[in-house]
Amino acid sequence: MAKGSNVGLAALSDDTGSVIVSLRWSSATGDGDADVSVLLLDGNGKVRSDADFFFYNNPAAADGSVQLLGKTPTDSGSEDRISLDLTAVPRDVERIVVAASQYGGSCFGELDDLRVTLADRSGEALLGFSITDAGVESAFIFSELYRRGEEWKFRAIGQGYETGLAGLATDFGIDIDDASDDDAVDGPAVEQVPKADEPRPPAGESTAAFPTQSASGAEPVGVEPPARRARGPRTAKKKVTLPKVAKKSLAENDSWRPARLFPVPSLKSDKERELRATSVLLSVMAEVPELGRRLTAAFGAPAGRMQTFTEVTLPHGDTPKRPDGVIRVERAGKLWTALVETKTNGNALKAEQVQNYMDIAARRGYEAVITLSNDVALEGSPLVDVRTDGRRKHKVALWHLSWAEVAHQAQMLIRHEGVGNAAHAWLLQELLHYLQHENSGCHGFQNMGPAWVPVRNGIDTETLCQGDRRAVEVVESWERLIRQVCLRLGGELGQKALPVQRAKRGSDPHSRRAVLADRLCDEGRLTSELRIDGTPGVLAITADLRTARLRTSIEIQAPEGSYPLTSAKRLIRLLAEAPADLHVETLVEGGNGPRGTLERLRPEPADMLPKDGARTTGFRLSLFKGMGATRGSAESGFIRSVDESVDRFYASVVAQLISFERRPGSRSQPAEPAAVG
């Protein structure tokens, strides 16, 4: 679409009652990002109240008309999706404005490939609009949906604001609170639940403390919490989360186990695990509307009354089929129905089963088939191949959820965003405990696949050649693992955590993975980068298959206007609780500077400065760890070692650096005497 043009939704599709709006951008450095927001406007072009402003701290409307679905990694960056149920929008709302904003002095001219797309409930794209003239603006209205009589229309806008989110919001009648206290910037008021202990991780799972959610709920000593960003109005919604500190147990000793709503120790067979997991999840989705809406809005489900069923028998030729579950949502007399196929304990989805359910759904007029397993889906690499009959007018969408995504959403709701009441919070707590139990089979991606050992052996013996399909399979497994790491970190921290993609938009994912596979054959290394909201840099992970070592690292910029020695001393002070074997490397213009372990540099921070007086631009901090040998998530497994390495590095290093950020300054870096002490 061209800027300023508009089109009626009825001309694009027969089913536009529920749509998905997606905002995309990419960044060559991997650092660029923005926050989406939605405003509901009345006939005067103003919000009816501050509650009509939906953003990171107010992500969903109570009536289900708006649901911010969060960020999804793509091959060229990330995509922020918004579910809009137009049938649930109040009659006095005339316009729905879709916008995005940046912070920290960033502007949209620093991002590439700004684009908004509109899709129907099945995920089929209906239209798109690209913004090509972004410059110094720090907020942008991408598009709007507006009423014309009984019809909804879409308009491509592309209007920027140099005054940022505050300028955009005040134009539409939002009262921005400029106070700096936590209450003013932290969004919805939160009420804690006086309930039982928080869910325990499964046996053997890493228990490294995170700065915002330690094992006890208290902040680790010496760790500053991530700075909150003042980017929105205060809201009055009352939400319920888990208590930060669990109430003292009344048990006589540690052998007494709390009673659980969903017990799991007796599960023995895969079939039993699948039945129990499906029933537990679907029942909680039906009873906790925040979770049910969160998990189904992205699949085109309307906001309405949800009911869920298990082991339903449906006719299919001579042999009836029994999908693991059925989800039905009713709104305004219309039904949305999805069949659910579940796998646990690392079992793979079967293409024949999924194909049967797709055929049944098409014949019966159902809207979707949802697969649920330990695997993480990748763009351009479907978990199962199914065929669709293009002659059929009714379209059935195939969607996938991983158990890691379900656990992530449950964590976000009960630990950070909150739910409607204490009973719902307790139900989510029991669900999360079930998912994390070692016997549930609902853990995330937990196997690097059959190609892992041959590829490792081929790298060790230098017999692995470019073009080997097994190397591509390992690259795909690595990508799935990194995405799962991001989900887990995001749930623990309550922050956005995404893999960094530096490929240009439109690049073929198969070609990109083939290039990475050839690099793996040549260098013997797997590498990825993570961007975690609130941290001073990009976290890098490297798995060196030749040396069997994992390296986690981060590069941070030297504060502007600071003397090099002052920066070095301040960095050492911030790393007071960091491991002694942390490697510190000074970054200088045109190359690398001095390096050493934290243990050696603590007594003499001046040893971090380049002897030739070269300008210090920043520092690289790295931790090394032995790599697990086996392909799975057992104690000695590769996946477990990656999780532990990331946890340790974030908790002991990255969390300490929150306040080591670039300071605005008017003067250039001053010269400093060479003889420093």
pLDDT digit string, tens, across residues 24-44: 888 776 666 788 999 999 999
Higher pLDDT, 534 or 639: 639
Range with lowest mean pLDDT among 52-56, 346-350, 662-666: 662-666
Taking residues 53-62, what's their average pLDDT?
87
Q: What was the pLDDT predicted at 614?
A: 85
Which residue reads 């079967």 in tokens? Answer: 350
Taking residues 492-520, what's their average pLDDT?
83
Neighbours of 63 (CB within 10 A): 12
Selection from 90, 86, 112, 89 nearest residue 21 by Cα: 86
| pTM given for the model | 0.80
Which residue reads 């109430």 in tokens? Answer: 247
DSSP character for 314? B
pLDDT in tens, 634-650: 655 899 999 999 999 99
CB of 428 within 8 A of CB of 198?
no
Range with lowest mean pLDDT among 57-66, 200-209, 451-460, 615-624: 200-209
Strand 591-597: give its sheet, edge to edge.
497-499, 525-532, 539-544, 549-557, 616-626, 583-588, 591-597
Pairing of strands 334-342, 368-373: parallel
pLDDT at 589 > cutoff 90: no
Q: What was the pLDDT predicted at 386?
A: 86
Selection from 123, 75, 125, 127 nearest residue 370 by Cα: 123
DSSP string, 142-204: EEEEEEETTEEEEEEEEEEETTHHHHHHHHTT-------SHHHHS-SEEEE---SPPPPPPTT
Q: What was the pLDDT predicted at 30?
A: 63
Question: Please, what is the Cα angle at 272 between 267 and 278, to 5 degrees?
Answer: 110
Distance CA 354, CA 384 (A): 8
Q: What was the pLDDT predicted at 408?
A: 94
Quick one: pLDDT band at residue 673, thresholds 50, 70, 90? very low
Q: What was the pLDDT predicted at 213?
A: 38
Q: At what angle do helices 403-411 and 469-493 cross, to 10 degrees?
A: 20
Q: What was the pLDDT predicted at 555?
A: 93
- Phi and psi based region of residue 98 (left: phi greater than 0; alpha: psi -120 to 50; beta: remaining): beta
Taking residues 446-464, what's their average pLDDT?
91
Quick one: pLDDT band at residue 560, thresholds 50, 70, 90? confident
CB of 541 within 8 A of CB of 527?
yes
Range with lowest mean pLDDT among 63-67, 89-93, 623-627: 63-67
pLDDT at 431 > cutoff 80: yes
The mean of the pLDDT values for the chain is 83
